[in-house]
Amino acid sequence: MRLRDINKKEFEDFCKESKQDNFFQTKYYAEIMRKEGYHTYFVGLEQDGNIRAAAMLLSKNISLFKKRIFYAPRGVMIDYKNYELLKFFTDSIEKYVKEKHGIYIKINPYLILHDREFDGKLINGGLDNTKSRENLIKLGWLKKDDANDDYENIDDIEPSLLYELELRGKNEQELFSNFSSRLQEIIKKNEIIGITTRKLSKNEFQKFLEILANSSNTTNFLNINYKNYKDILNILEQHNMLDMTIANLNLDKYKEATLKSKNNIKNDAQLEEKINKQLDSIEKLQYKYGHNILLGGIMAVSYHNEYLVLASGDIDQFHNFHVLNTLHWEAIKNAKKLGNEKYNFYGIGNTLEDNPKLSEYQNYHGKVVQLIGEYDYIIHEFAYKKQLKKEKDKNRYK
């Protein structure tokens, strides 16, 4: 058995057979991150001519001691319950990274720790990968949650809790009917008052940046520098993976729907006064914006059987429309058309307690996906500590 550099075809062939296959462990994401200044490597653990484990590695230089740091985003893809296999890989990757002047390697595997319900509760008798976590820790991989102050991870790059909606075997009506009544009402109301969605081309990406800049309710998991966004979008579009949708409010239709509501009022002065105030507000919006208002947007990739939301946001001033619900519903329908079997809202953080994203997403009646977390394997302890201090100091003065 040996660890070696493998070509992209060998890597892709392995990924097709792996249950841990995901967008962040692809040649496409490697191409994106090279635009961000990272070196990329594809490595595989070979035994008797077969690849038993594989990873796409990112690496970047740091000024400290002229060393490098390594990261396998949502990898490594390996059988973590097989202790001997994992031990051989750990010993081999330590040597591999050390030869390339690395001070540590970070991993956050796409491996479920526990099966959970739509509201985050554990499923009795469900999947339990505690053994995988124990094997990593036993072999010296440092888990963030268990780290002391001296060895706390430099960054928590990816969330350990995701939210997913199963699309397989369900039509649009079945999916919609399974949403909470509150969510159904919001989506129906938004359609009535004139909120519409449309696809956004990469040439209009400035509109999406405008949304993110004016929203405190954003998600952005692509981890890229937006000065390179045109290159990034070209890569995704070239491989037919990019899907961007924005939502607008037609103020003329909004006014028409509000007037219709007013005409249907019978002997309710309080409600009539409320609607009159709403009409005044609409007229002010029309004076300021004209016929349409940009409300929010979603950016996603479609990879294999998964539709993955990478960035989203709604403009703070119009947050009361809850337009992200409309956008997610339109994206879910599009994911079905594309043949995806899973809609991944992606990260909801790292804890289930007082989690606003969970409170929002559980209305879709999907499921919480708890991954086994993030780990560092330290190769150069002194340099690792120095780099950690540097990162802490940088964050302190942001």
How far, in Å, CA of 195 to CA of 246, rounded?
10
Give the pLDDT of residue 267. 77
Nearby residues of 287 by Cβ (< 8 Å), 6 or more positions away: none
Average pLDDT, rounded, for the chain: 91
| CATH superfamily placement of domain 2-157+373-396 | Gcn5-related N-acetyltransferase (GNAT) (3.40.630.30)
Q: Is the pLDDT of residue 228 over 80?
A: no
- For the chain, the domains span 2-157+373-396, 164-370
Longest dimension (CA), the chain: 83
2-157+373-396 shares its CATH topology with 164-370: yes
Let me know how many helices (H) and strands (E) the chain has, helices first.
13, 16
pLDDT digit string, tens, across residues 187-196 = 999 999 999 9
Q: In the structure, what pLDDT confidence band is assigned to residue 13 with cuts at 50, 70 and 90?
A: very high
Q: Is the pLDDT of residue 17 over 70?
A: yes
Range 164-370 has CATH code 3.90.1200.10: no
Give the pLDDT of residue 397. 45
Residue bearing the bigger pLDDT, 390 or 245: 245
- Please give the model's pTM, rounded to 2 decimal places: 0.91
DSSP string, 62-104: ETGGGEEEEEETT--BS-TT-HHHHHHHHHHHHHHHHHTTEEE
Give the pLDDT of residue 333. 97
Q: In the structure, what pLDDT confidence band is assigned to residue 393 with cuts at 50, 70 and 90?
A: low
Q: In the structure, what pLDDT confidence band is assigned to residue 390 with cuts at 50, 70 and 90?
A: confident
Average pLDDT over residues 123-148: 87
Residue bearing the bigger pLDDT, 379 or 272: 379
What pairs with residue 102 in β-bridges?
68
How far, in Å, CA of 51 to CA of 10, rounded?
8
pLDDT digit string, tens, across residues 315-360 = 999 999 999 999 999 999 999 999 999 999 999 988 999 899 999 9
Give the pLDDT of residue 99. 96
Nearby residues of 379 by Cβ (< 8 Å), 6 or more positions away: 94, 97, 98, 102, 103, 104, 105
Q: Is the pLDDT of residue 396 over 60?
A: no
pLDDT digit string, tens, across residues 240-279 = 999 999 999 999 999 999 999 888 887 778 888 889 999 9
Q: Is the pLDDT of residue 31 over 80?
A: yes
Give the pLDDT of residue 225. 66
Work out the percent of the chain whose per-residue pLDDT is above 70. 94
Q: Is the pLDDT of residue 66 over 90?
A: no
Q: Is the pLDDT of residue 152 over 50?
A: no
Average pLDDT over residues 140-158: 61
